[in-house]
Every structure is written in structure tokens, then in C-alpha cells.
Amino acid sequence: MNQVIEKCHLWQIAILGALAGGIAALLLGFSPDWDLFNYHLYNPHALIQGRLTTDIAPAQIQGFLNPLFHIPFYYIFVHFGPAALVFFAGALQGLQWVLLGLLLMRILPSQQIPQWMAWTVAAFGMFGPIFIYELGSTQGDTIVSALVLASLLLILPGQQDSGNHDAHARAWLAGLLGGLAVALKLTMALYVIGLFVALLVCRPFKAPLASAWRFGAACAGGFLLGGIAWFGWLWLNFHNPLFPYFNQLFESDWASTVSFRDRRFLPGNALEWMVYPLAWLLEDYKVWEFRFRDVRPLLLYPLMFLVPLLAWRKTGREAPALRMLLVFLAFSYLLWLPLFSIYRYLSVLEMLAPLALFTVIAWLGASRRTAMGGLALLIASQLMVGYKRADVIPDLNINQATALQDLPSNSMLIVSGYEPLSFAALWLSDDIPMIRIRSNFMRPDRGLLDPEIGGDRLSRLALKRISGHDGPLFLLQSPSEGAKPFLEADLRLMGLTPEAAMQCMPVFTHTRLQQQLPLELCPLNDPAPGFPGD
């Protein structure tokens, strides 16, 4: 490995990165987003408190994702508060400075660069719009990314490789980390497949198939290690280990037999398929719900295809690690494009883009002046980065008093619509079920009355649970959902009618928190005799 790294105290860089990430996250504040309100807190809460069979899909489709990753964040939020959660998440994200630095030293050609330049270039990987948006948050894109970066570091060829035995051992470990990343966050699969392809086509040692096989087998092991308990539970209860995703393959009758892929951000025409990075730079909201700007993916886009294609042998001789990195990025992008086209799933590409750009420039020029030019390009491109963060909500903590805590123990809480409301279960007695009748994968008007239509068994179970409930019923809603035309129709299908609107009460007693999260708790009349659930 480059002597620059050997002279550095990596543990000092790690501590500095963790402290910088944690402190920066605290300065930005606790900014809970849609996913935290929807499932980041609810999923581990339901697992730990035994609500998995008590509730019905309060966290919508995301409520069936593996809760393992979010357990430590949930624990910190409940026992130490949001500030501790923010610092912890930011510290984990900041630790990746070390991985980025090690990767840079691995992919750089043999020429030396100053230490300050190496670590500065590595730091640019943590200043993209995805990373800044997620800094201090419970999103996994920029935390689980550490497993992918470590896996990439292990399979990249280096000057100190000690033969096939060492390469095979690193392939086993890299695969284990990659499989674990996928178990924790399914969207990381695009990078793990990209790593496999890069290992298969670029690895210079004599038995590439053997190491690729080891990597793939270890991926399966890592995936089972991190997910067998959860995916097994889904299989036993819903006959689909990835429920409800890919249900067109598993055909579980608990949900419609479709893939449930989010297709909102897919390219709209042939030109966009070819130059999508240009399209999303020119048009807001093309690949994300927020406005952002980053020119580095566009600058990298032609390089990650053209450099390996036009200089395959040259890069193989002079910069094999750079060649493998570019192949990994190119293939991962080609998977991302038709599968997701959701920008934040490109977190690993965003983090590696500054490193790849700098290294290509340094390799082409092979001089200190060229390296300075590459650094100047990164500085100029950083000035063009635009990003968005969720609103800061400093008052949200487990100690806040809510109307939910005063509900009778024999109550049932009903949710309808698409707002992320399941986090409210943290203030709810574990005896009180939370039943969602409409979500981003359930609709009560599909397959509710006719079991042959839609196969939506969850909706029928919700209907049965509501009709058989002996106790008061309450509707949890936000004002925006309360005005939606589907709400009254959904309640009518369930045999429910809201009582006088004046009886709705605010959920939070804290005035500012209630203004930021205007949730209402509304009593419902009991199901009418003879409605479909009877």
C-alpha cells in the first residue's frame, strides 16, 4: 500500500472522523424524516415489544423490512434521547473517512502525494448531497455503506498482495461483509453484485473464478447471518421471505401479486436512459423528492465507462485497482438505473466519485501539478453542491406527554392513508393494537369484499380484527390526511363513522411539537351491525 498511509496513524484519523461527524450532526440538529416517522423507530419497537402480531401494517410496506439495523438507533433514542442518536449516527458516518482514505491509497498510481492532499480528497467523499442530508439520521444509505466500502477495499488489488491464498481469504471476508450489508439494507444488493462482476472480470491473479465463487458463497453466508431470523419469520407468516416485495414471484395471498417496486423516478425516454446524470442535473425532482445539485456524478459518468474500455490493458498494467473501481461503479450504476433510479441509493457512488475523479486525473497526468489540478476540480465542484435537509424537530423525545398514553387499555387505534404515523406506537400501550386500513401497498377497496380480487388478505384480516374488537376505536390522523376523500370511504368500508369532528384532540401536549407534528386522535363509532366483517 502507498507509503503515505503507512506513515499515518489510522486510529487518530478514525477518532477525528467520528468526532467530526458526530459534532457536525449535532450542529445540524435532529432532523427526523419520513422514514424515521414511518418505520425506523417502529420496526425495532414492534420486534422488541412484541407488536409484530398485535398490529397490522402500521408502517406500511416498509414495516416488513429487516429491523436489525435500526435496533441500536431505537435503543439510543428511547434511553438517551435524540441528541445521542444524532451524535452516534454522525460518528458512524464520519468513521468512513478512514475507509475512503484507504481506498484512495489503494487506487492511486504509485506516485506520492502529500498526506494532507490524500485525506482532503478522501474527505470530499463525505460532502455530497446524500451524505449531508443523512448526516446524523437513521438512514442506512451512508452507514451500511461502510460494509460495502470495506468489502471493496478487500477485493481491490494492491502492491502488497501476497498471492492467491491472501486474495482468496480477502474474498471470503469481503463477501461476508457484502452479504451482511444486503441483509441490513436490501438496496445494497446492487453494489454487492457490482463487486462480484468487478472481481470476476478484473482480478489479475490466476484463478479469478475461484475467488469470485468464494466471494459469492460468503455473500450468501453474510446475508443469512444478518437476515435469516427475519426472512424466516416472513416466510413462515406470509409465505414470502421478502414480503411483500417480489410477490409476483412468491404469490403470497397476503398481498397483491406484484413486485411493489417504486417506479416514480425511472427514466422517461431513451435519451434519459443514456444520459440520466445530465437529466437530473437539469431538472429538479427527477431522481429524488428533494432539490439537490452535484456535478460530480455527471463528470464521473463517461469516465467510468470510457477509461476501462479504451485503456483496459494500460490500466491493468499501471492502475489495476482503479480499473476495478471503475468497473464496479459502472456496473452498479447500470443495475441502479432500471431497478431504482432513486438517487439516495447511489450513496456509495456519491462517496467514491471524488476519489475516482481525482485518481483518473492523477493517473493521466502522473505529476504533482496534475494532482493539484484534480484537487482544484474537487474544490470547484464542491462549491456547486446543493442539498436539502429535513426540518429540525428538537422536542421529539420519548418523555413527551401524549393523548395516546391516556387511551383505555381495551382501545384499538385505526390509521388510514399514506402519512408516516407508526412512530406514535412508542407512546401507545402494547395492549392497544394499531391497525392500518390503507397504505402504500394496501387498499381496502381492493379484494376486501371479494377474496378472489387482489388477494389482499391483510385488508381482510384488518376488517376481521376491527369487526371483532370489543372496545373503543380511535382514528389517528394528520390534518392533511383527514381532508382526503378516501378517508370517509375507507371508514365506511370498515363499517366505521367518525364522531363529531370537535371531539378530535391533539396528540402531543407540547405546543411547539404539536405544531410541527399536527397529529389528531379522533373517536370512532362502533362498527354498524351487519357490515362486511360480521
**With contact defined as beta carbons under 8 Å apart, do 189 and 182 qualify?**
yes
Q: Assess whether 378 and 473 both reside in one domain.
A: no
23 by Cβ neighbours in 10 Å (0-12 / 13-18 / 19+) ranks as middle
**With contact defined as beta carbons under 8 Å apart, do 222 and 180 qualify?**
yes
Q: Assess whether 343 and 450 both reside in one domain.
A: no
Max CA pair span of the chain:
83
Q: Assess whether 178 and 288 both reside in one domain.
A: yes
The C-alpha atoms of residue 302 and residue 10 are separated, in whole angstroms, by 33
Q: Assess whether 197 and 335 both reside in one domain.
A: yes
Q: Assess whether 482 and 352 both reside in one domain.
A: no
Instruction: List the one residue out of 249, 245, 247 whose CA is nearest residue 262.
Output: 245
Q: Assess whether 372 and 431 both reside in one domain.
A: no
Q: What is the pLDDT of residue 491?
A: 87
Q: Is 55 helix (H, G, I), strand (E, B) or coil?
A: coil
* Average pLDDT for runs of 10 along the chain of length 534: 56 96 98 97 98 97 98 98 98 98 89 86 98 97 98 84 72 97 98 95 67 93 98 97 95 91 94 96 94 96 93 83 95 98 98 97 84 95 94 96 96 94 97 95 71 70 91 91 78 78 86 96 76 51
Q: Is 337 helix (H, G, I), strand (E, B) or coil?
A: helix
Looking up cell 491473479 gives 205
Q: Assess whether 87 and 157 both reside in one domain.
A: yes
The C-alpha atoms of residue 349 and residue 333 are separated, in whole angstroms, by 8
Helix and strand tally (H, E) in the chain?
Answer: 25, 5
Q: Assess whether 222 and 326 both reside in one domain.
A: yes
The C-alpha atoms of residue 158 and residue 156 are separated, in whole angstroms, by 6
DSSP 41: T
**With contact defined as beta carbons under 8 Å apart, do 321 and 158 qualify?**
yes
**57 within some domain:** no
Instruction: List the one residue out of 177, 169, 170 whose CA is nearest residue 146.
Output: 177
**389 within some domain:** no
Q: Assess whether 326 and 429 both reside in one domain.
A: no
Cell of 204: 489479475
**60 within some domain:** no
Q: What is the pLDDT of residue 448?
A: 57
The C-alpha atoms of residue 349 and residue 528 are separated, in whole angstroms, by 55
Q: What is the pLDDT of residue 2?
A: 46
Strands (DSSP E) along 417-497, which ranges?
A: 434-438, 473-477
Q: Assess whether 474 and 332 both reside in one domain.
A: no
**349 within some domain:** yes
**With contact defined as beta carbons under 8 Å apart, do 136 and 31 qualify?**
yes
**473 within some domain:** yes
**433 within some domain:** yes
From residue 430, alpha-carbon distances to 115, 399, 410, 434 in Å are: 54, 17, 11, 9
**417 within some domain:** yes
- Measured N-to-C along each axis, helices 145-155 and 189-202 cross at an angle, to the nearest 10 degrees, of 10
pTM of the model: 0.94
β-strand 412-416 against 434-438: which pairing, if any?
parallel
The C-alpha atoms of residue 319 and residue 211 are separated, in whole angstroms, by 20
Looking up cell 363529531 gives 500
159 by Cβ neighbours in 10 Å (0-12 / 13-18 / 19+) ranks as exposed
**222 within some domain:** yes
DSSP 411: -
Q: Assess whether 339 and 471 both reside in one domain.
A: no
Q: What is the number of structural domains in the chain?
A: 2
The C-alpha atoms of residue 151 and residue 260 are separated, in whole angstroms, by 29
The C-alpha atoms of residue 311 and residue 323 are separated, in whole angstroms, by 9
The range of the structural domain enclosing residue 416 comes to 403-524
CA atoms 211, 212, 218, 222: torsion sign = positive
Q: Assess whether 444 and 327 both reside in one domain.
A: no
